[in-house]
Amino acid sequence: MKKKRLAVIGGGAHTIPSYRAMLKRIAHKYEVILFSEFHLDRKSEVEEYSIRSVSEKKRNARWRTVAFFILIIKSFYSQRPDLIHSHSTYPSGVVAIILGWLFRIPVVVCLDAAEASAVPEIQFGDLLHKRRMQWNKWVMKNAAAVTALTRFQCDDVRVNSDFSKPIQIIPRGVDLARYMPTDKAPIAAPVRFLSVAYLHPVKDHDTLLRAFQMISHHVEASLTIVGQDYSNGRMQQLAKELGIQERVDFTGFVPHENIAGYYKQADILLHTALFESQAMAVVEAMACGVLVCGTRVGIMADLSGECCVTVTTKEYATLADEVVRLINSPAEQIRLRANARNWVETHSLSWTTQQYLNLYEQVIK
């Protein structure tokens, strides 16, 4: 039986490891062609699906979007897809909805970032930009279906964009064969803390380091921070000012395929972001049996108290108190690990893939 054809609009989907893994599995059922608004070289190619991207010569954003639109139109005329899957709302969603109208193809829009959220103090999120929000609302209104990663993200959309149509919540799961729990005894000193997040204001490593400093007053501990540094060394300087530089290891960028090894060595993941649509590091950590403590955003907000320990953003003193309490409560550690692993197994990569396959079939019908 010939496969139905799926057009994925938005190169960002291919650059996110968990998204790419999902698309590879979807390609078992659909002929998938991914279109990228930015250039993807041959090193980005995969066997499971095709990639078509704009020329690397198109550097102006406006002309790049025009070239992106033309690239897809030409492809659709020769190979009309049965369904369009848009990664986020702008510009991919705008292009997807227009193409859907032109070719009479249904569009599934998958929210993946801060499409209806804002963190004003760091000028982050589409909600801060009136015109962008108008585009986002238009895209969601005209989509055949809209998905969100978490209830947390969905609630922002409901409150901030006055969007009343159904939103299907589909978190991205992990490959259970790759992220497996190791035997974790009750936590004992020295406690091994881990952070997996690039150094950027939205990840709020300031709160992370201040919380760790307070925790280390109560228990012998170390902190490993995995992630590309976009702070120009500011976080390393803060660690020195706080007197914890000898206990904090900044690894810099680590390829995604090597990160699982860090989870195996960790006791607690500290994740103190100001905003997350989901936070894959949290899901990966839970899958590996690592306890998760952090701020009430993304998937941590959805699973707070059940699978992880959370506090309000920026409240590093409260977070430190909660972490110390958890370290001194072996029974609570066992409960959180068991609940977290159960959630991860229920919402695995296979589950995520099947949710999208089911949604596609509903939309195509």
What pLDDT, on the 0 to 100 scale, is given for residue 58?
Answer: 59
Global pTM value: 0.96
**Rounded alpha-carbon distances, angstroms, from residue 251 to 17, 18, 75, 259, 341:** 20, 22, 42, 11, 27
* H helix or E strand, kind and range, residue 86: strand 83-87
pLDDT, tens digit (0-9, with 9 covering 90-100), for 317-332: 999 999 999 999 999 9
- Per the prediction, the chain carries an average pLDDT of 96
pLDDT, tens digit (0-9, with 9 covering 90-100), for 170-227: 999 999 999 999 888 889 999 999 999 999 999 999 999 999 999 999 999 999 999 9
> How far apart, in whole angstroms, are the C-alpha atoms of residue 75 and residue 91?
18
Tokens of 216: 């280390």
The residue written with tokens 């108290």 in the block is: 305
Tokens of 345: 């197994």
All domains in the chain, ordered by first residue: 4-173+348-364 (3.40.50.2000), 191-346 (3.40.50.2000)
pLDDT, tens digit (0-9, with 9 covering 90-100), for 37-72: 988 988 889 999 999 999 877 567 778 888 899 999
Q: Is the pLDDT of residue 308 over 80?
A: yes
Give residues with Cβ within 8 angstroms of 29, minimum separation 6. 3, 4, 357
Contact 212, 221 (CB under 8 A): yes
| Mean pLDDT in residue range 338-346 | 98
> Alpha helix (H) ranges present in 115-192?
130-142, 151-161
Residue-level length of the chain:
365
> How far apart, in whole angstroms, are the C-alpha atoms of residue 330 and residue 339?
14
pLDDT band (50, 70, 90) for residue 92: very high
Q: At what angle do helices 234-241 and 205-215 cross, to 10 degrees?
A: 20
